[in-house]
Amino acid sequence: MPHDTAIAELKTLLGDRLVSTQADRDHHGQNESYHPKIIPDAIAYPTSTEEVSQIVKICAAHNCPVTAYGAASSLEGQHLALEGGISLDTSKMAKLLKVNDEDLNVVVQPGLNRIELNEELRATGLFFPLDPGANASLGGMAATRASGTTAVRYGTMADCVLALEAVMADGTIIRTGSQARKSSTGYDLTHLLIGSEGTLGIITELTLKLQGIPEAASAATCRFDSVEDAVNCVILTIQSGLPMARIELIDEAMVRGFNLYSDAGLPEKPHLFVEFNGTPNAVAEQAASFGEIAEEFGATGFERAERTEDRTKLWNMRHNAHHANRALAPTKEIITTDVCVPISKLAEAIVEAQEKSREMGLSCAIVGHVGDGNYHCGLNVDASDAEEMSRAKAFVGLLNDSALRLGGTVSGEHGIGMGKTAYMHAEHGDALAFMRAIKTALDPQGILNPGKILPALNH
């Protein structure tokens, strides 16, 4: 292997926490999407920030790539070791370090996942609100700037991180931010690292904002005759200032998938899944106001889910959209992609996506965190059929072009990884050169997650 010297030194440092068996390498080379398996040369399992620093220093000395690895739930191959080297698995750095309940924040290691965090917080009356669906690691959520179904109320990961500790490309340990809710000192390195997908530094500790568990919560579903009616309902709801906790679009194809996978028994029409949080009176008022708006757009079949177990069942069904999509064509693979547009353009964007997929002969199911203009398309494809794969990739390109034309972005949630680098110049133009300058300044050897976010110079 080209990185044998680095691996030998890491073995001395870590002992049996440096692993290079074929089974472990294969496991760390897999992903949840259509990207090919790409296996690292070895896997390192650090237990502390200091060990991460030592690992990176050894890798820097031998020009060995280091790719951070969390829960591997990313959809654009962010965790894949594209140029080999070390997969730095943070699963043994999964502690809740401190709860500052009076300041509504918590300090965690990056390998802790969001479900574990909320289980540990339950007795405090606080919770961490972001819910991307997958049981992602918190470090991975920060590195990919995750959001999810609750982003319309609580924002994205960029809004929920107060401070970070990170190991930079030369092994230096830095701290960014503080427990204070705002600062006007220096460059905002916290938000530079959030969303950098492990290309600028490796996150080893996070200070996260918490919220009080709502006194009351209520969810509901309703259906519409068309996607356009459902989306226009969302637009008016948001423009009316109604404080939704969640508002999700499910198109008719995705409903069919839910019926197959979860035995949902839903009429195969576009649906909205919604949730309201607050005091009992506020929740009742929000639900009534939403019902009035929805009825303006022909909504029918209102079903409420007020018990915790019913809400959990509803959102578990939504979070299993990837598996439900697969149920539409069990022998095929899923290409899943997302874009985000201004909410005023959302109906136009989604209807255009549906029409394009039909014109191109593609099976496409759409779900979306539509309260913030973000929607996801899941395509069922035969990966061995070159012609179908070509059509699918052309559709993704058209979707990205459409989002940019409508004033949006090629990803509101999944990130860039290795899957969308080709669209970075179209979205960012001359700003891309400054992104390259930052990467070069912070990682001059290019050892941190190479091949991600920034396109090759010949693009």
CATH assignment of the domain containing 320: 3.40.462.10
Q: Among 72, 89, 106, which residue terminates a domain?
A: 89
> Which letter does DSSP use for residue 261 in this model?
H
pLDDT for res 405: 97
- Within-domain flag for 293: yes
pLDDT in tens, 365-379: 999 988 889 999 999
Model confidence band, residue 459 (pLDDT cutoffs 50, 70, 90): very low
pLDDT for res 99: 97
- Within-domain flag for 443: no
| Domain hosting residue 23, numbered range | 4-89
- Within-domain flag for 432: no
Q: Which of 451, 438, 448 is nearest to 189 (CA)?
A: 438
pLDDT for res 228: 94
- Within-domain flag for 62: yes
Q: Using the structure block, give the residue that is written with the tokens 């309703």.
A: 222
- Within-domain flag for 452: no
pLDDT for res 340: 96
pLDDT for res 35: 84
Check whether residue 146 and residue 116 sit in a common domain: yes
pLDDT in tens, 115-167: 999 999 999 999 999 998 888 999 999 999 999 899 999 999 999 999 999 99
pLDDT for res 456: 84
Cα–Cα distance for residue pair 390/374, rounded to 1 Å: 25
pLDDT for res 100: 97
pLDDT in tens, 218-265: 999 999 999 999 999 999 999 999 999 999 999 999 999 999 999 999
Judge whether residue 108 has pLDDT over 70: yes
Check whether residue 347 and residue 226 sit in a common domain: yes
| More confident call, 54 vs 73 | 54
- Within-domain flag for 415: no
Question: Average pLDDT, stretch 59-85?
Answer: 95
Q: Which of 297, 314, 320, 374 is nearest to 342 (CA)?
A: 374
| Burial of 316 per CB tally in 10 Å (0-12, 13-18, 19+) | exposed
| Assigned token pair, 188 | 């905002």
pLDDT for res 458: 64
Q: Among 405, 427, 443, which residue terminates a domain?
A: 405
Cα–Cα distance for residue pair 224/295, rounded to 1 Å: 9
Check whether residue 125 and residue 43 sit in a common domain: no
CATH at residue 84: 3.30.43.10
Provide the percentage of residues in the chain whose pLDDT is more than 90. Answer: 91
Question: What is residue 47's three-state secondary structure?
Answer: coil
Check whether residue 61 and residue 165 sit in a common domain: no
Check whether residue 200 and residue 223 sit in a common domain: no
Residue 340, phi-psi category: left (phi > 0), alpha (psi -120 to 50), beta (remainder): beta
Q: Using the structure block, give the residue that is written with the tokens 């001395």.
A: 12
- Within-domain flag for 186: yes
Check whether residue 237 and residue 307 sit in a common domain: yes
Question: Average pLDDT, stretch 28-57?
Answer: 94
Check whether residue 193 and residue 118 sit in a common domain: yes
Q: Among 36, 56, 89, which residue terminates a domain?
A: 89
Question: Which amino acid does the sequence have at 425?
Answer: H
| Assigned token pair, 194 | 């959030």
pLDDT in tens, 170-227: 999 999 999 989 899 999 999 999 999 999 999 999 999 999 999 999 999 999 999 9
Check whether residue 359 and residue 228 sit in a common domain: yes
> Can you list the positions of beta strands (E) in 279-425?
300-305, 333-340, 363-369, 374-381
Judge whether residue 1 has pLDDT over 90: no
Check whether residue 284 and residue 187 sit in a common domain: no
- Within-domain flag for 441: no
Check whether residue 149 and residue 56 sit in a common domain: no
Check whether residue 238 and residue 362 sit in a common domain: yes
Give the bridge partners for 288, in sequence order: none
CATH at residue 131: 3.30.465.10
pLDDT for res 332: 92
Give the bridge partners for 269, in sequence order: none
Cα–Cα distance for residue pair 246/148, rounded to 1 Å: 9
Check whether residue 364 and residue 256 sit in a common domain: yes
pLDDT in tens, 392-444: 999 999 999 999 999 999 999 999 999 899 999 999 999 999 999 999 999 99
Judge whether residue 328 has pLDDT over 70: yes
The DSSP result for 402-450, as a single string, is HHHHTT-BS-SSS--TTTSGGGHHHHHTTHHHHHHHHHHHH-TT--BST
Model confidence band, residue 310 (pLDDT cutoffs 50, 70, 90): very high
The count of domains in the chain is 3
pLDDT for res 36: 86
Judge whether residue 268 has pLDDT over 80: yes
| Assigned token pair, 371 | 């309260």
Judge whether residue 33 has pLDDT over 90: no
